[in-house]
Amino acid sequence: MTTTFSLKDFLNKKVELYNQPTFIANDPICIPHLFAKKQDIEIAAFFAAIFAWGNRSTIIQKSKELMKLMDNAPYDFCLKHSVKELKSVSAFKHRTFNTTDLLYFIDFLKFHYSKHKSLETAFSMHGKMLRKC
């Protein structure tokens, strides 16, 4: 007798495995869960996703390190940082992610949030940002 393999069954099993509160603590998805403000959640998730290759505990540790360098207020940091504060984060790196990358993203986030309430428009086909780039 042969077993029928269905993609739907496979995906449903993965949902059962990963879609649980107990999974969050040991996965980079825990980083945006540290925040309540939508924009902080977006920025934290954005950086955690960028760092998300390799060892999960390292990704979590480096994401938390960056959030701490941003005074655990990434939205306020991106919008209101001073030159001195930028210097304090300039030593941050994670694998191939370096100072130049970080400063570029902070600059983009400041620009984007000065015109939009959410990061969603930066990634949607209907976002004005995509057409201007």
DSSP sequence for the chain: -PPPP-HHHHHHHHHHHHSSHHHHTTSGGGTGGG--SHHHHHHHHHHHHHH-SS-HHHHHHHHHHHHHHTTT-HHHHHHH--HHHHHHHTT--BTTB-HHHHHHHHHHHHHHHHH-S-THHHHSTT-HHHHH-
Quickly state the pLDDT bin for 121 (edges 50, 70, 90).
confident
Instruction: Give the type of residue at 36.
Output: A
Please indicate, yes or no, if residue 18 is contained in any of the structural domains. no
Average pLDDT, whole number, for the chain?
Answer: 90
Please indicate, yes or no, if residue 111 is contained in any of the structural domains. yes
Please indicate, yes or no, if residue 8 is contained in any of the structural domains. no
Please indicate, yes or no, if residue 48 is contained in any of the structural domains. yes
**Average pLDDT of span 97-122:** 94
**pTM as predicted:** 0.83
Confidence (pLDDT) at 113: 96
Q: Domain residues for 46?
A: 28-117
Burial of residue 1, with CB atoms counted within 10 A of its CB: 0-12 exposed, 13-18 middle, 19 or more buried? exposed
23-80 pLDDT, tens digit each: 899 999 999 999 999 999 999 999 999 999 889 999 999 999 999 999 999 999 999 9
Please indicate, yes or no, if residue 22 is contained in any of the structural domains. no
Please indicate, yes or no, if residue 104 is contained in any of the structural domains. yes
Please indicate, yes or no, if residue 15 is contained in any of the structural domains. no
How many structural domains compose the chain?
1
Please indicate, yes or no, if residue 73 is contained in any of the structural domains. yes
C-alpha 83: how far from its chain's center?
Answer: 23
